Amino acid sequence: MSSRFLFRRSLLAAGLAAVVAASTSLAEPIAKQPHQVPGYYRMNIGELEVTALYDGYVHFDPAWLKGISKDNLQNLLNEMFINTEEGIQTAVNGYLINTGSHLILVDAGAAECFGPTMGSLANNLRASGYKPEQIDTVLLTHLHPDHSCGVANADGTPAFPNAIIYVPQAEAEFWLDTAMGDIAETDQAFFDMTRTAMAPYTEEKLQRYQPDDTLLPGVKSVPAYGHTPGHTAYLFSSGTERLMVWGDIVHNHAVQFAHPDVVIEADVDTDQARASRLQLLSRSSAQKFWIAGAHLPFPGLGHVRVKSDAYAWVPAEFSPIVDSLESAE
Ligand SMILES: [Zn+2]
């Protein structure tokens, strides 16, 4: 056998070995990592440190969006590549604002009220570097359970033992004071959930406030009634910067910026909810507020701009914390 032949044979063998190796690696795929990055996102707005906290997601039926034809609705969802097979996947977000002298949480997530797709806010708060005991103020936009259940632990103790919980008076009256007998049977479970969540807080810790009351320096409540009777946004100021944490003003970014007249099934007063949305969209776009939205795609931070005769959402771009990079140099 010539050495040249042997050389060719060993090349062939090496080639075969490579093929075998390749097919072996096809048979055993590289294991995928089952975990997402922690659900928090941080940015500075003026002197405020703002941390978006992901509580999870919920699917809602597209038919809940009302005041638009079925075709038109489907087109808007298609344009944004939103898959509706299981319903519209909708984020549930809370926001932690460190003012330097106060640590404020706006909305507390669903805790265990709606099953495993929600209730991650507390874990994401810890992942973001803070502890629940550090929070001194909780501002609730409204008392729907996906915003309020998180104020209590599963064992009925306060999730934020050192915080005062602020609730708009009209909202507290509706959810906490209405006699159960006067509530539609189908809604009673919701009322029960939020009452159970608020129960661990004494009257001193659960502060009801009027729209004109000053809550904290640099923080104003902005009545945006309709979705619920006392639904309220919070406007944070730092220097010339403004951040509006607006709760449930928009439930779907693909639909309600382009068609702010579209309402959602869960609105208690649809006409009032629509009017509040129009007012806040107009004000936010004109004054170039930063927006934080409880049901906008996480982290739900960005701006509203005018587009044609309606609006469009401009999400924040991922950025490092520039201040800390500079001080680290
Ligand atoms: Zn909500």
Residue from 65, 57, 85 nearest 258 by CA: 65
pLDDT, residue 101, reads 97
Phi, psi of 29 (to 5 degrees): -65, 150
Cα 13 to ligand 1 centre (Å): 64
The yes-or-no verdict on residue 179 having pLDDT over 80 is yes
pTM for the model stands at 0.90
Q: How far is the CA of 247 from the centre of ligand 1 (A)?
A: 7
In this prediction, residue 6 has a pLDDT band, given cuts at 50, 70 and 90, of very low
Distance 18 CA to ligand 1 centre (A): 56
Cα 329 to averaged position of ligand 1 atoms, centre (Å): 42
Instruction: Give me ligand 1 centre to Cα 248, in Å.
Output: 5
Distance (angstroms) between ligand 1 centre and the Cα of 7 equals 72
pLDDT of residue 2: 46
Residue 3 has pLDDT above 70, yes or no: no
Encode pLDDT of 120-154 as tens digits. Answer: 999 999 999 999 999 999 999 999 999 999 999 99
Report the separation in Å between the CA atom of 20 and the middle of ligand 1, taken as the mean of its atom positions. 55
Q: Rounded to the nearest whole angstrom, what is the distance from the C-alpha of residue 4 to the centroid of ligand 1?
A: 76
Place of tokens 């946004």: 233
Look-up of token digits 């009256």? 173
Ligand 1 mean position to 175 CA, how many Å?
A: 15
> Cα(280)–Cα(288) distance, rounded to whole angstroms?
11
pLDDT digits (tens, 9 = 90+) for 51-80: 999 999 999 999 999 999 999 999 999 999
The Å distance, Cα 241 to ligand 1 centre, comes to: 26
Distance 142 CA to ligand 1 centre (A): 8
Q: How far is the CA of 145 from the centre of ligand 1 (A)?
A: 8
> Ligand 1 centre from 146 Cα, in Å?
6
What does the buried/exposed string (b/e) look like for 289-321 if buried means 16 or more CB atoms within 10 Å of the residue's CB?
Answer: bbbbbbbbbbbbbbebeeeeeebebeebeeeee
How far is the first Cα of the chain from the last one, in angstroms, to the nearest whole number? 68
Ligand 1 centroid distance, CA of 310 (Å)? 23
Contacts of 239 (CB under 8 A, 6+ apart): 46, 47
Distance 316 CA to ligand 1 centre (A): 21
Higher per-residue confidence, 286 vs 325: 286
